[in-house]
Structure 1
Amino acid sequence: MASTYETIYGVVKKIPRGCVATYGQIADLAGLPGQPRQVGYALNALRRVHSIPWHRVINAKGEISQRSQPGCEKLQRRLLEGEGLEFDGRGRVSLAQFCWKPRTRR
């Protein structure tokens, strides 16, 4: 059985290039409804070298959340802009335009 963090990482790995997902969206998809902070804790626990596209996870306002590591927000923005995402004058990404819409199983 996968750990909670491994489950979260599995969902985050599915976010396509050029898209973002919110912490709450990832929590829901990982079977942790109402627990977006768990997603934040999992992403914070990542080591420097990994294949998880952590930068594609943003908050429900479409903003990059502050991190404990200095400069991390600037790096995240550069990575997202490098994938073609655009920020408005308030530093927000349009969730209507860039939010990942995964296919759901029926």
Structure 2
Amino acid sequence: MAVDVEAFRKEVYNVVASIPFGKVLSYGQIAWLVGCPNHSRLVGRMLHGAAESEGLPCHRVVNNVGRLAPGWIKQRLLLEEEGVTFRPNGCVDMKKWQWKLDE
């Protein structure tokens, strides 16, 4: 399935912008929400390329098991500032902190 990259980017940014304080979503969940469930890696690329000036809370996006983005040390600090806690393995507790869309 071909993806209109600019339209995809806008939709991804809209979803990320709407993630509430203290909640997280996975790349795959975002891909599913924008109608492209097989494009979680593209979500990651869109967010990696997001300029800080976009003001997106990209730190609220983790992988499906709650693992943080590799090499982004500040991500954990930003999540902790929002009250998000971590399991002993360093991953976000997705059962506790995942944004349930009906909230």
The residue number in structure 2 matching 1:4 is 8
- Does residue 44 in structure 1 map to residue 43 in structure 2? no
**Structure 1, unaligned runs of 5 or more:** 68-72
The residue number in structure 1 matching 2:86 is 87
For 1:48 and 1:99, locate their aligned partners in 2 and report how far apart those are by CA, in whole Å: 23
For 2:20 and 2:97, locate their aligned partners in 1 and report how far apart those are by CA, in whole Å: 10
For 2:59 and 2:75, locate their aligned partners in 1 and report how far apart those are by CA, in whole Å: 5
TM-score by length of 1: 0.86
For 1:63 and 1:45, locate their aligned partners in 2 and report how far apart those are by CA, in whole Å: 19
The residue number in structure 2 matching 1:70 is none
Does structure 1 retain, via aligned residues, the 8 Å contact 2:24–2:62? yes
TM-score by length of 2: 0.88
Q: How many residues align?
A: 98
Q: CA RMSD in A?
A: 1.5
Identity of aligned residues (%): 38
Amino acid at match of 2:101: P
- Does residue 76 in structure 1 map to residue 75 in structure 2? yes
The residue number in structure 2 matching 1:100 is 99
Structure 1 runs of 4+ aligned residues shifted over 2 Å read none
For 1:11 and 1:49, locate their aligned partners in 2 and report how far apart those are by CA, in whole Å: 17
- Relative to its length, the structure with more helix (as a share) is 2
For 2:68 and 2:37, locate their aligned partners in 1 and report how far apart those are by CA, in whole Å: 21
For 1:75 and 1:48, locate their aligned partners in 2 and report how far apart those are by CA, in whole Å: 13
